[in-house]
Amino acid sequence: MRRSRRNISERAERRLYSKGDRTKARAITGVVAGVVVWILIATVGNLAVRAAWPGYAEVEAAMKFTPEMMMCRLVVGALSSLGAGWLAARITNQNSGAIYALAGILLVAFAPVHYGLWEKFPLWYHAVFFASLAVMTVLGARLNGRKVQNRVVAG
């Protein structure tokens, strides 16, 4: 008796939410989770760099980084993008629309930040950072070992 009630409940829930609705919900959840994990990985990475490299913390407020420090910052950003893409792909079942949306949101979110920092960093730094946001996010999604599925996110 218990089993049949559960089956009825599961069938009713499936009818209540269409596959398209579930796909959209997963896409939104994956993109939001990707942004959150990007911030978390970047924060933990930055704290680790500060702890491991005493000179880094001293110049961070003034943004007077050496080329080695800038490279380290780029590596932290790239790892953040890899993690964000991996998690988004995991949640969305490799939904390419959601993965590209995540990469686009990261690019749009960092454009005003880097505009404000334009004079403090060389052009190559900005170029590598923005390229890594897109490329490493998509690469992170592909690390799941499944093929990225072409699905439309928009309704």
- 43-68 pLDDT, tens per residue? 999 999 999 998 999 999 899 999 99
Residue type, 110: F
CB atoms within 10 A of CB 144: 16
Confidence of residue 115 (pLDDT cuts 50, 70, 90): very high
Confidence of residue 7 (pLDDT cuts 50, 70, 90): low
The DSSP annotation for 92-131 comes to HTSBHHHHHHHHHHHHHHHHHHHHHTGGGS-HHHHHHHHH
4-8, 22-26, 36-40, 96-100: least confident range: 4-8
Distance CA 100, CA 85 (A): 9
Report d(CA 152, CA 37) in Å as an integer.
23
pLDDT tens readout for residues 131-151: 999 999 999 999 976 555 555
